Amino acid sequence: MNFLAPFAFLFAATLPVVIVFYMLKRRRTVRLVSSTILWQKFLAETQANAPFQKLRNNWLLILQLLMLALAVFALARPYFATTTKETGLVVVILDGSASMQARDESPSRFEAARKEALKLVDGLKDTDQMIVLLSAGNTVVRQSPTAEKSTLRRVLEECQPGDTPTRVEEAFKLAQTLAKNRAHVEVHFFSDGAIPAAENLSSIKLPVVYHQFGKRANNAGITAMDVRPHPEDASQRVVFASVFNASTNAQTVSAELRFNGQFIDSKVLNLPAREASSTVFAAEQKQSGTYTLKLKSDDDLAADNEASIISKMPRPVKVLLVSGGNRFLESAIRVLPNVELNTASQLLTGGKGFDIVVLDGVTPVTQPEVNTLAWKVATTNWFESWRTVENPDIVDWNANHPLMRFVTFDDVRVYSTLAVKAPKWGLVLVEAQQTPLVIAGEKGRQRLVWVGFDSLESQLPLRHSFIIFMANAMDWLNPQQTDASQFTLQAGNAFRQPLFENVATATVTTPKGDKRELKLGDQAKELIWSETYRVGLYKANYGTNETSFTVNLMDPAESDITPRSQVPVGAQGAVAATTSKRANLEYWRWFAMGALAVLMFEWWYYHRRTV
């Protein structure tokens, strides 16, 4: 037997003191007190004519010495040595994502995982160290390497789950970095195994022990939500939603839509097993506000039963066409709804005052500062170099991008184009054998669409795809659409708001109503709020402005709370869930319980004799 606190045996010096007390003869005054038969027998034998007396056989003395000895052993924290291999460093990765809040474990999967992690702390050897990582939307090092068990228990008790998706790749890579140059390392992963398939964990070269939690997959959750203008009525909005049923049985749930807290409509959704179903609501909207969709379902996970989205009243899109004269391009923009078009022969002010700048073969004097569509424009701000290619052969296009929706280049011929190398900020949408023809992306906070050829040097204006492409481009470049996505976040992602005035502090109100103050520097150009771990509506007040933004889970992998018996970690491909327990558990609790049992026996013996 070994002891984690051997200095506690110093308390054994109190054992002789108890014996000395029994040898003393003391003059006593008779008083009525609550006592036991054993105490009464002892008092009856006490004599006061000498300071000491001969030690006699007394059951009370034996019980007291036994109880005190057991208490001393408990304080010394004994454990038995085993033949298990030496660990050295234990890394605990605690999954704190939304699915770990499922209530199929009592009281939740996360609480069950925490309980097992605490048992792992109890099983640490005195030479072991432990690291605690909390993995959710981001990985947080909750405790650096330490052997102090009280600290580890406190840290684990303080860990809380969030409403965020699971992103464990960062946690495992961090664990591998922290365990570098360690001889004996063990990684314990406490999770339900709901890891996205995109997580690349094959490079992990650590021994991983997977502790699985979760018993069933009783859940229906909102996995997507969007709001668009009604195609036939400009005064109305259409709210789209997708609901996933993770259960192996069909479910019937009620979906209720509200706008700024006011009831709009409700529907009964019949959800097939293990499938996603779509639903559509139409609502009249006269002001900017927030649509909230709520599922009334008695399932195991509440974080995905509600989702909200900001919907702002549309305003006309101000477009500046910088061109030497292109009637095809000008007509294609003018026929688009809700567009105010202005034309110019040169861009002199960077497009200030406009939402979108369209450059038609004109190299701007000043670089555009707003979202831009550029036709055959060469600038070093976008590309390192370029050249001209005649009759490029179109080989492929990305039909999944919003810009290419319902657009085809099957029968389009291009006579001449600029040839460039695709930049890091851009995604190639249309590709020729010699060069990209259409590139789209974000550079800083500016959206750019670059077309390498002049529309008049191709057959595109003669095809239906031309007007569809222009409509898609105006919609994708519209800053109002960009703003809508900016104010609707997935849990765990930071909210960013540009500042156009000097603001010293900002106040953020959380969905629970708590107000948090955020200090900003004098030269701050952005308000950044990263504590988006809870779903709901947030409000930010800065200077004279107030902004609302919503945080949702909306993650199919997280709503699918099916427990996984394996996780794809390491070169071996998958790690199966373990049922083994850590050896070398401490036994101080048993000694403490023994001392309590002795005390209760003495109490029982007294009452048995006196009844």
pLDDT digits (tens, 9 = 90+) for 55-90: 666 666 777 778 778 787 777 767 655 544 455 899
Strand pairing report for 289-296 and 446-451: unpaired
* Euclidean distance between CA atoms 317 and 514, whole angstroms: 37
Regarding whether 477 and 363 lie in a shared domain, the answer is yes
What does pLDDT average to over the chain? 86
Q: Residue 394 corresponds to which amino acid?
A: I
Regarding whether 435 and 333 lie in a shared domain, the answer is yes
Number of domain units in the chain? 3
Regarding whether 376 and 433 lie in a shared domain, the answer is yes
Regarding whether 115 and 98 lie in a shared domain, the answer is yes
* Euclidean distance between CA atoms 147 and 119, whole angstroms: 15
In a domain, 575, yes or no: yes
- 496-546 per-position pLDDT tens digit: 888 878 888 999 999 999 999 999 877 788 899 999 999 999 999 998 889
Matching residue, tokens 């919609």 = 475
* pLDDT top residue among 222 and 572: 222
In a domain, 528, yes or no: no
Regarding whether 466 and 341 lie in a shared domain, the answer is yes
Mean pLDDT over residues 81-109, rounded? Answer: 84
* pLDDT at residue 146 in the model: 95
In a domain, 387, yes or no: yes
Owning domain of residue 18:
2-79+589-610
Q: What percent of the chain has pLDDT over 70?
A: 85
Regarding whether 124 and 55 lie in a shared domain, the answer is no
* pLDDT at residue 407 in the model: 93
- How would DSSP label each residue in 32-64? -----HHHHHHHHT---SSSB------HHHHHH
* pLDDT top residue among 161 and 544: 161
Whether cis (ω within 30° of 0) applies to the bond prior to 436 is no
Q: Which of 39-43, 205-209, 472-476 has the highest mean pLDDT?
A: 472-476
* pLDDT at residue 3 in the model: 66
Mean pLDDT over residues 20-24, rounded? Answer: 68
CB 454 within 8 A of CB 376: yes
Does residue 584 carry a pLDDT above 70?
A: no
In a domain, 388, yes or no: yes
In a domain, 489, yes or no: no
Name 451's bridge partners.
Answer: 375, 438
Q: In which band, very low, low, confident or very high, does the pLDDT at 362 lie, cut at 50, 70 and 90? A: very high
* pLDDT at residue 224 in the model: 93
* pLDDT at residue 595 in the model: 73
Q: What CATH code is carried by the domain that includes residue 108?
A: 3.40.50.410
- 331-355 per-position pLDDT tens digit: 999 999 889 999 999 998 889 889 9
- 389-442 per-position pLDDT tens digit: 999 999 999 988 989 988 999 889 999 999 999 999 999 999 999 999 999 999
* pLDDT at residue 571 in the model: 62
Mean pLDDT over residues 10-20, rounded? Answer: 75
The model's pTM is 0.69
Q: What CATH code is carried by the domain that includes residue 382?
A: 3.40.50.880
* pLDDT at residue 180 in the model: 86
In a domain, 253, yes or no: no
Matching residue, tokens 């057991």 = 70
- 299-322 per-position pLDDT tens digit: 999 999 999 999 888 788 999 999
* pLDDT top residue among 573 and 113: 113
Mean pLDDT over residues 129-156, rounded? Answer: 94
Regarding whether 98 and 68 lie in a shared domain, the answer is no
Q: Of 180, 124, 174, give the one whose Cα is nearest residue 149.
A: 124
Regarding whether 601 and 575 lie in a shared domain, the answer is no
In a domain, 246, yes or no: no
Whether cis (ω within 30° of 0) applies to the bond prior to 6 is no
Regarding whether 111 and 24 lie in a shared domain, the answer is no
* Euclidean distance between CA atoms 308 and 484, whole angstroms: 12
> Among residues 483, 516, 547, which one ends one of the domains?
483
CB 546 within 8 A of CB 208: no
- 433-469 per-position pLDDT tens digit: 999 999 999 988 799 999 999 999 999 999 999 999 9
Token digits of residue 380:
């070093």
* pLDDT at residue 49 in the model: 47
Q: What percent of the chain has pLDDT over 90?
A: 55
* pLDDT top residue among 84 and 474: 474
In a domain, 257, yes or no: no
Sign of the torsion formed by the C-alpha atoms of 387, 391, 393 and 398:
positive
The region of weakest confidence among 73-82, 128-137, 245-254 is 73-82
Q: In which band, very low, low, confident or very high, does the pLDDT at 588 lie, cut at 50, 70 and 90? A: low
Regarding whether 114 and 190 lie in a shared domain, the answer is yes
> Among residues 445, 460, 483, which one ends one of the domains?
483
- 174-187 per-position pLDDT tens digit: 999 998 888 889 99
Regarding whether 435 and 336 lie in a shared domain, the answer is yes
Regarding whether 143 and 59 lie in a shared domain, the answer is no
Query: Helix, strand or coil for residue 68?
Result: helix
* pLDDT at residue 400 in the model: 87
* pLDDT at residue 25 in the model: 59
